[in-house]
Structure 1
Amino acid sequence: MSIIDEVIELKKARRAVILAHNYQRGEVQDIADYVGDSFGLSQKAVDCEAEVIVFCGVDFMAESAAILNPDKIVLNPAPEAGCPMARMITAADVKMLKNKYPGAEVVCYVNSSAEVKAESDVCCTSSNAVKVVNSLKGDEAIFVPDRNLAHYAQKFTSKRIHAWQGYCPTHHLITAGDVLVAKMEHPGAEVIVHPECRPEVVDMADGVFSTDGMIKYAKNTGKDLIIGTESGIIHRLMKENPGIRYYPLSPYAVCPNMKMNSLETVRDSLRYMKTRIVIPENIRTRAKKALDRMLEVGR
């Protein structure tokens, strides 16, 4: 029996659903029931009727699924797969910011720990960060932990944003020089980038999208695309929209943590029901309020 057949058999026996982020290895995306960005997968985690959720991503994603689904078993096949940006801020840091900027609501990018979410007023994703900030009642917002996403949101709001200085190392590797070289090497191709990229890269792009936004954009353009985000998304782009060519904006835009899942880790997770994510209830209920508010705002 092949590993894929084992996964299918185990998934049926466990009444499980497999969720995979757009940055996962191609073979992991191919065995998933749903592939998407953090917002779309958060919604799927809530809406699915499975008893077990196998979340193929990095640690904060599985945590978010566990926060939103206390009655379901949430498994992280690669618990060692962390998010460097999420680890750039702690709950104590958020408390410090709230003391520094009293009255400002805390907008927390989902790329953060459960403890940080619990200290926040509302979460956001890259696809709805602007909408979330503009939904706030006050004139000021504390935005954690991504300074680049905060800078992008600031362009589309009159509210004053106080940004924490975290960032995604993978996206931060992409430079303005990469954009210039890519445009020279692929004339006629459009450059689309993720808002986690540096501000100067965002300013040079033809479009700025979340990963699912990139998927949708690719379906409606007849032009070749230069992709400014983690390279794993190109597998899905080629699979769903094979009529155009895709070029990575940087050959170094690879998140090693996102690649820790494999067919073997997914199979073993289902076989041995590991590693289960359990969030302390006093943290989970507070973090859920921030995530629920994000889902209410929508994309």
Structure 2
Amino acid sequence: MNHILKPRLEAPSLDALYDRVSALIPPMEWGAFADDIAAIQRLKAEKNAVILAHNYQTPEIFHCVADVTGDSLALAREAQNVEADVIVMAGVEFMAETAKLLNPSKTVLIPDSNAGCSLADSITGRDVRLMRERYPGLPVITYVNTSADVKAESDICCTSGNAARIVKSLGVDRVIMIPDEFLARNIAKETGVDVVTWKGHCEVHERFTPEEIRHWRDAYPGLVVLAHPECPPEVVAEADFSGSTAGMSDYVATADGRRVLLVTECSMSDNLAIQHPKVEFVRPCNLCPHMKLITLPAIRRALETMTTEVTIDPAVADRARLSIERMLAA
């Protein structure tokens, strides 16, 4: 169930859009957003463009201009079905690259080319080649939070939502899983497969601690804790549930009347609070500085100027695309 994945085919009025987010955005703040939102809706029609937005985008983007929303896996799958000429990725650079890999004939824009990722920056294609030399014969499973160059050196990609299934699908006792050390360790525990890791971490999720989780439980009796598998294993061990952002979204859909703590980037709590007003969200707010570079003015500017366009060396793209297609087919 991908209930958070909602293609929006017609642009509602500004009043209707504000009704969606009025519980979180005061009227004065909405006034600062409305002009950009109206311009973006107009530009999408003029340029035959769609906006794909990750779950970590802020509510004015996620609920008011995005055509498709979801986690990395949902956006990768939906990118294959896009009929527009232009895709604007309201996310980070590796997500825009993935959209381009799956839609090579379309124009893919990233509103801010500085929107990177600590995981993607932690490893290069050369690093993967060296790991293959050190561990000959082991399959390389690469998290989607990587550059096209790294994907091109890999056997198959995974997301946090399908990592365990991808590992099991290979039917081997040992794999290389890069670059997120914590995700790899969590998946190794879940699957029983021996995993060779790389010391890459998400700068949002690595900051959570077990002590912090216990503090929130003491402060909010009955709290349900949902942790992203990019968190350290000792944090995941403190949670009631661990899963991708899509998995957490599905869990929240059944949690009416409960207190919930999402151990992940905090804009996701804002977006789900709008969809599930009966759920009380406790917010230990860790923000992704890269995701927050994507703003309404940046999206508007991208559509007005058709920048920054994502391009990938065809020799790299062909091999990187294969690793993603294997993931989607698995």
Bin of the TM-score, shorter chain as denominator length: over 0.9
1:239 counterpart = 2:280: no
Q: In structure 2, what is the equivalent of residue 154 of structure 1?
A: 188
Q: In structure 2, what is the equivalent of residue 22 of structure 1?
A: 55
Q: In structure 1, what is the equivalent of residue 20 of structure 2?
A: none
> CA separation in 1, counterparts of 2:66 and 2:155?
32
Contact map agreement 1:104 1:139 (CA 8 A) in 2: no
> CA separation in 1, counterparts of 2:41 and 2:134?
51
> 1:2 pairs with 30, 35, 39, which one?
35
Map Cα deviations across residues 112-164 of structure 1 (whole Å, 9 max, x no partner): 01100000000000000000011114322100000100011101223221011
1:276 counterpart = 2:309: yes
Contact map agreement 2:58 2:271 (CA 8 A) in 1: no
Give the partner amino acid of 1:153: I
1:189 counterpart = 2:250: no
Q: In structure 2, what is the equivalent of residue 264 of structure 1?
A: 297
* SS at 1:192 equivalent: strand
- Deviation of 1:235 after TM superposition, in Å, equals 1.8
1:57 counterpart = 2:91: yes
> CA separation in 2, counterparts of 1:296 and 1:199?
29
> CA separation in 1, counterparts of 2:37 and 2:193?
49
Map Cα deviations across residues 164-194 of structure 1 (whole Å, 9 max, x no partner): 1111011000001110111011111100010
> CA separation in 2, counterparts of 1:141 and 1:184?
39
Give the partner amino acid of 1:26: P
> CA separation in 2, counterparts of 1:179 and 1:229?
12
Map Cα deviations across residues 182-209 of structure 1 (whole Å, 9 max, x no partner): 1011111100010000110000100001
Q: In structure 2, what is the equivalent of residue 290 of structure 1?
A: 323
> CA separation in 1, counterparts of 2:107 and 2:42?
18
Give the partner amino acid of 1:8: Q
Q: In structure 1, what is the equivalent of residue 203 of structure 2?
A: 169
- Stretches of structure 1 that go unaligned for 5 or more consecutive residues are none
Aligned-pair Cα RMSD in Å: 1.0
- Deviation of 1:105 after TM superposition, in Å, equals 0.4
- Stretches of structure 2 that go unaligned for 5 or more consecutive residues are 1-33
Q: In structure 1, what is the equivalent of residue 262 of structure 2?
A: 227
Contact map agreement 1:108 1:145 (CA 8 A) in 2: yes
User: Quick check: 209-218 or 134-143, which moved more?
Assistant: 134-143
Q: In structure 1, what is the equivalent of residue 109 of structure 2?
A: 75
> CA separation in 2, counterparts of 1:167 and 1:154?
16
> CA separation in 2, counterparts of 1:156 and 1:101?
22
Give the partner amino acid of 1:179: I
Map Cα deviations across residues 232-264 of structure 1 (whole Å, 9 max, x no partner): 10122111111111112x33x111111011111
% same residue: 41
* SS at 2:191 equivalent: coil
Q: In structure 2, what is the equivalent of residue 48 of structure 1?
A: 82
Q: In structure 2, what is the equivalent of residue 216 of structure 1?
A: 250
* SS at 1:212 equivalent: helix
Q: In structure 2, what is the equivalent of residue 108 of structure 1?
A: 142
Give the partner amino acid of 2:79: A
1:107-146 matches, cutoff 5 A: 107-146=141-180
